[in-house]
Amino acid sequence: MTGGVCRALRASKSCSAGTGVLRFFIRHRYFVISLLVVSSLYVGYFWYHYLFATPVDLYHRTWDACKQNIFDKAALKDWSRYEHRFDRLIKNDDDALRYANQMLQSIGDPYTHLMSAKAVDHAKQQRLGRFVGLGVQINGVKKNGDYLMIDKVIPGSPASRAHLRPGDTILGIAGRSCRGLTAPGFAELTEQYKNQTVSLLIQRSGRKLRLQVAPGVVSTDNIEFKKIADGVGLLNVRNFIKADTGARIMKIVANAHDCSNVILDLRDNPGGNVSDCLQVASLFLDHGRLVTLDIRNGGGIVEESHVLTRDCEEVIEADKSSGTLKVSRVSRLPQIFKNTKLIILVNEHTASAAEMLTAALKENGRALVVGTKTFGKGIAQAGVPIANGAVLCITCVRYFTPAGHFIGAGRQQKGDGLQPDVVVENRVDGIDAQLNTVLSMIRNPS
């Protein structure tokens, strides 16, 4: 009985409260409607202001975002001198991008640059494995003054058909100088000449050459697996740019159950997405520390440790300024290479996420590393949305191997890198001495 009375009283009060709200709304309806309209306009203005900006404001937001997010604050020096330096010269978004990148070049970091909306879209297409361009891999480091150098040529691409080579320095295209261009800027430029034969000016071994090339659609697959000997599988991972690399490796190596030895070829791999790289590590590793990232977060640093367990990947975030600790868990891929011996091939162009993967497997005692010392990047970039579709690619991360080593060198282009267990230089006569050495080691284990 008491319960029924209570329920009745609650229902009565609820009804009375509802009636009161209705009366308030009717009495003050114009005020409430005005408040809702003002709130909607404010929210709309906020998102419009966030997504869109005048050309001058686009430049200023880049200046501020760099100031807030760059890892090495000392690299900014007297950053205030750039705040209004180009205001009178900026008339459109192209001007804002050009002068913003001129400002960013003063930092001395080849990886920090402002990407246009078109360059951002190009990067997305690369992640999908299909894009318009020459089909070359450029890590963004400038050579011969202020020009980009080709690190790798994709087989079957327009660049391959035009006989471009790794080491070629790009001086100009279609009569336009490429001096000062960032890698995304060059990609955007070549996209403009889709299916058009244009002249490409390069420098090779001290000589200037003109080659005819027609940028077009390039389809890529960043992984390849094949059996190269009895019980030996060769897994080539060209980059970690294309999405879901780990999941696609699982499908490709479904027929590798009879391979007691796997060679993981990371030579010329420039890196890419960190989470994809760590997912690949879980295919080979049961458990262990993977990497520790120091991430600039506004004025402070967050230490983010990635630890692989048998069930998941734990991410431990420690804010160094506040002392707060946060632990989250993400899914891992199953360890499909359980009883295989693993050898990793690396060279001086193995960089970034590829070095991260190599260190995780090497320092957890899972792999033997053969080749030459790796690039030594030791830093990573994040994309900060600015406005008008532009994104600031900025160095805001330093990473450390499971043993706590920093393999980079701050703002310099190259650091210490990872030293292989077995050093083998590759020959210039086309013979793969590094791969042959590994095969010899497998056939004749000591």
How does pLDDT run across 260-310, given as a tens digit for each residue?
999 999 999 999 999 999 999 999 999 999 999 999 987 789 999 999 999
Q: Which of 348, 371, 343, 353 is nearest to 417 (CA)?
A: 348
- pLDDT > 90? residue 141: no
pLDDT at 23: 59
For 365, the token pair is 């005692």
| Mean predicted lDDT score pLDDT of the chain | 86
pLDDT at residue 435 greater than cutoff 70 = yes
Query: What Å distances lie between residue 423 and 11, 291, 362, CA to CA?
Result: 81, 24, 15
Query: What local confidence, expressed as pLDDT, does residue 445 receive?
Result: 85
Q: Where exactly are the structural domains of the chain?
A: 2-51, 132-219, 223-443
- 200 bridge partner residues: 173, 211
Least confident of 68-72, 237-241, 414-418: 414-418
3-state secondary structure at position 286: coil
In percent, how much of the chain has pLDDT > 90? 64
CA-based nearest residue to 240, from 208, 206, 278 = 278
Torsion sign over Cα 23, 24, 29, 30: positive
How many Å apart are CA 171 and CA 177, to the nearest integer?
6
In the prediction, which pLDDT does 314 show?
A: 97
Q: Answer for the pair 60, 385: CB distance below 8 angstroms, yes or no.
A: no
Beta pairing, strands 169-173 & 176-177: antiparallel
Helices 274-284 and 353-363 cross at an angle (nearest 10°) of 30
CB 140 within 8 A of CB 153: no
Tokens of 293: 């990232």
pLDDT for position 29: 54
pLDDT in tens, 388-414: 999 999 999 999 999 999 999 754 455
CATH of domain 223-443: 3.90.226.10
Q: Considering only residues 191 and 3, tell me which one the structure prediction assigns the higher pLDDT.
A: 191
Question: How far apart are alpha carbons 371 and 213 in whole angstroms?
Answer: 33
Model confidence at 2: pLDDT above 80: no
pLDDT confidence of residue 137: 83
Question: What average pLDDT score do residues 342-350 get?
Answer: 95
**What backbone phi and psi angles, to 5 degrees, belong to 304?**
-115, 110
pLDDT at 96: 96
Sign of the dihedral through C-alpha 392, 395, 397, 401: positive
Q: Is 132-219 a CATH 3.40.50.12280 domain?
A: no
Label residue 20 by pLDDT band (50, 70, 90): low
pLDDT at 242: 87
- Give the up-direction half-sphere exposure of residue 357: CA atoms within 13 A in the CB hemisphere: 36
DSSP state of 240: B
Alpha carbons 305 and 320: distance in angstroms, whole number: 13
271 φψ region: left (φ > 0), alpha (ψ -120 to 50), beta (else): left
Whether 267 contacts 354, CB under 8 Å:
no
Q: How confident is the model over 145-154, as a mean pLDDT?
A: 85
Rg (the chain; Cα; Å): 27
> DSSP characters for 384-433?
EEEETTEEEEEEEEEEE-TT----S-TTSS----PPPSEE-PPPSSS--H
* 296: nearest Cα among 103, 139, 66, 96: 66
Over residues 174-222, the pLDDT tens digits come to 999 998 888 888 888 898 999 999 999 999 998 999 999 999 998 888 9
Alpha helices by DSSP H, 117-182: 117-128, 158-161
- Of 70-74, 147-151, 168-172, 312-316, give the lowest mean pLDDT range: 147-151
The pLDDT, as a whole number, for residue 207 is 94
Which residue, 402, 423, 394, is CA-closest to 355? 402
For position 188, what pLDDT does the model report?
Answer: 86
pLDDT digits (tens, 9 = 90+) for 362-389: 999 999 999 999 999 999 999 999 999 9
Q: What pLDDT, on the 0 to 100 scale, is given for residue 6?
A: 44
Lowest mean pLDDT of 244-248, 384-388, 427-431, name the range.
427-431
Contacts of 150 (CB under 8 A, 6+ apart): 136, 137, 138, 159, 164, 165, 166, 167, 168, 169, 170
What's the average model confidence in pLDDT over 226-241? 93
pLDDT score at 13: 43
Confidence grade of residue 47 (pLDDT, cut at 50, 70, 90): very low
pLDDT for 27: 58
At residue 42, the pLDDT reads 44
